[in-house]
Amino acid sequence: MSSDAVSRAGLPAHFFAVSLSAGLLALMTWFIWSAPPVARTVWLAGGWTFGVLFYYGALRYPHWYWQTLERWYHQLGSPPHFYRIAGLWLPWLVIIATVLCVVGVVWGLAFAPPHHEQGNSYRIIYLHVPASSAALMAYVAMGVAGLVALVWRLKMAEIAIKAIAPFGAIMAAVSLISGAIWGRPTWGTYWIWDARLTSMLILLFMYLGVIALQNAIRDPRQAGQAASLLSVVGVINVVIVRYSVDWWQSLHQGSSMSMFGTAGSAIHPSMLAPLLLCMFGTYFLFAVTVLVRARTEILWRERKSAWVREEVA
């Protein structure tokens, strides 16, 4: 199936490898750009270590790298393989996600010191920041999957979009709700048209648009392609919305309101450690829910094939 998609688009598997690493690079740039300043240093250090190791390896053993990437492309692009591999990974991902989230939240709620200005209300950060960052990250991931689905018509990329959208919508909602409740004791109001709250609201609308479009189209391949196009357009829009809303706020309010006086730089390492745990935990949670949904979707789409009948029986 995947080799068919490659020949139809007339593009070699190498293009897949290059675009995959470009996508990873874009994702990491996004993480670094959107993270609070202290987390940014952590991301930068991690990103550089990974990048140097990856490209050292790619230059030192190019043959092995290309082979591995090509194998991944064919395995991940093939629904039965993906179903099986995801099934092997899922139990481990569930364990890691649960441990990270529980340890992070308990540490943040009970053990981290209170904030010197906000007291204990700041503890909502351990919910709010991971949810916001996961909602943003999920949309970028959806855009990358959309690009792959449009160029190579890879069935798995369409399935990935369908699996990511509900998670992203829920995370955007969690970010908005926790932000509103945090805003009441901090700003004295549940809702202000703050740049970040507003762009998160628009992100939620865009997730709902992708979900609605998918539900409106009967044919699954056509629905997948349409949702892919919408998510690619949406990624461009997310960036422009962010800048335009920032500009709009500077026009109306003079200074932007921050949860922590002078941005995130005030956050103490003892508060940051549980935050990072929660963030990583949320990313693993992302992997868990996306894999569960993708497996369900694969089963349903391939319900007429022999391997699904064996699997289900």
Partner 1 sequence: MSGFSATLRREVLLASRSPADMVNPLFFFVVVVSLFPLAVPPTPGLLEAMAPGVVWVAALLAVMLSLDGLFRSDEEAGVLDQLLVAPVELYFTVLAKVLAHWLLTGLPLVLVAPLLGYMLQLPAEVLGSLLLGLLLGTPTLMFIGAIGAALTVGLRRGSMLLALLVLPLYIPVLVFGAGSLGRALEGLPVSPVMAVLGAMLAMAMSLGPFAVALGLRISSGD
Partner 2 sequence: MHFDSLAELWQMGVHGPWVWSAYGICVALIALNVVWAVHRGRRVRRDIRGLIRRQSLQEKQ
Residue closer to partner 1 by CB (options 123, 242) is 242
Tokens at residue 105, please? 């939240």
Residue closer to partner 1 by CB (options 50, 247) is 247
Residue closer to partner 1 by CB (options 29, 222) is 222
State the binding partner of 237 from partner 2, partner 1, none, CB within 5 to 8 A by kind.
Answer: partner 1
Query: By C-alpha distance, which of 90, 27, 68, 75 is closest to 235?
Result: 27
CB of 32 to partner 1, least distance (A): 23
State the binding partner of 190 from partner 1, partner 2, none, CB within 5 to 8 A by kind.
Answer: none
Residue closer to partner 1 by CB (options 78, 225) is 225
Residue closer to partner 1 by CB (options 160, 223) is 223
Return residues touching partner 1 (CB under 8 A): 150, 202, 205-206, 208-209, 212-213, 216-217, 219, 222, 225-226, 229-230, 232-234, 237, 240-241, 243-245, 247-248, 251
CB of 81 to partner 2, least distance (A): 18
Dihedral pair phi/psi, residue 119, rounded to 5°: 65, -135
Q: CA dist 136 to 72, 206, 223, Å?
A: 26, 11, 23
Return residues touching partner 2 (CB under 8 A): 105, 109-114, 119-121, 123-124, 127-128, 131, 166-167, 170, 173-174, 177-178, 181-182, 184-185, 285, 288-289, 292-293, 295-296, 299-300, 303, 308-309, 312-313
CB of 251 to partner 1, least distance (A): 6
CB of 123 to partner 1, least distance (A): 32
Residue closer to partner 1 by CB (options 133, 198) is 198
Query: By C-alpha distance, which of 106, 129, 76, 15 is closest to 290?
Result: 76
Dihedral pair phi/psi, residue 115, rounded to 5°: -80, 145
State the binding partner of 217 from partner 2, partner 1, none, CB within 5 to 8 A by kind.
Answer: partner 1
State the binding partner of 157 from partner 1, partner 2, none, CB within 5 to 8 A by kind.
Answer: none
> Letter for the amino acid at 12?
P
> Letter for the amino acid at 127?
L
Q: CA dist 242 to 39, 94, 163, Å?
A: 20, 33, 25
SS3 for 166? Answer: helix
Residue closer to partner 2 by CB (options 145, 172) is 172
Task: List b or e across 107-133, with b for residues whose CB sees 16 or more CB atoms inside 10 angstroms.
Answer: bbeeebeebeebeebbbbbbbbbbbbb
- The distance from CA 44 to its chain's CA centroid, rounded to whole angstroms, is 18
CA distance 247 to 236: 17
Query: By C-alpha distance, which of 263, 264, 273, 258 is closest to 113?
Result: 273
Q: CA dist 267 to 37, 114, 118, 259, Å?
A: 9, 11, 12, 11
State the binding partner of 88 from partner 2, partner 1, none, CB within 5 to 8 A by kind.
Answer: none
State the binding partner of 32 from partner 1, partner 2, none, CB within 5 to 8 A by kind.
Answer: none
State the binding partner of 161 from partner 2, partner 1, none, CB within 5 to 8 A by kind.
Answer: none
